[in-house]
């Protein structure tokens, strides 16, 4: 059985770029990130509450999963509060600038 050279690589063509979607402005990106962060915090708090209620009702949720969900919700909330604090500090620093 003869061994032939690799010719398949030569037949590959370059992939044409797809139509570029409009890039969001800096304000839209920041607003979206803040909205997503707030939604994530809300979701993690809701998940923790549901697991607490399930454990309290004698459901199938293990206690360690409930504790992990509560800790995750707490950390997400603390992160969001720190983000708010940094934004307020930045705003105050801009307001103190001399023009």
Q: What is the dihedral of CA 43, 49, 53, 54, to 10 degrees?
A: 40
Count Cβ neighbours within 10 Å for each residue of 53-70 and write b for 16 or more, e otherwise. eebeeeeebeeeebeebb
pLDDT tens column, 7-65? 554 454 555 555 555 665 555 688 898 888 899 999 999 999 999 999 999 999 999 99
Question: What's the pLDDT at 37?
Answer: 87
DSSP state of 10: G
Mean pLDDT throughout 85-90?
94
pTM score, two decimals?
A: 0.64
Non-local CB neighbours of 70 within 8 Å, separated by 6+ positions: 48, 51, 52
CA pair distance 31, 28, nearest whole angstrom = 5
> Would you list the domain boundaries of the chain?
26-96
Res 83 pLDDT > 80: yes
Question: What's the pLDDT at 42?
Answer: 94
Res 89 pLDDT > 90: yes
């Amino acid at each position: 059985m003869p061994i032939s050279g690799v010719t398949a690589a030569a037949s590959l063509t370059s992939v044409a770029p797809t139509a570029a979607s409009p890039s969001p402005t800096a304000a839209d990106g920041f607003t979206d990130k803040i909205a997503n962060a707030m939604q994530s915090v809300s979701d993690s708090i809701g998940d923790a509450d549901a697991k607490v209620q399930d454990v309290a009702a004698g459901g199938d949720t293990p206690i360690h999963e409930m504790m992990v969900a509560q800790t995750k919700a707490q950390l997400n909330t603390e992160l969001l509060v720190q983000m708010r604090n940094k934004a307020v500090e930045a705003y105050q620093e801009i307001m103190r600038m001399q023009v």
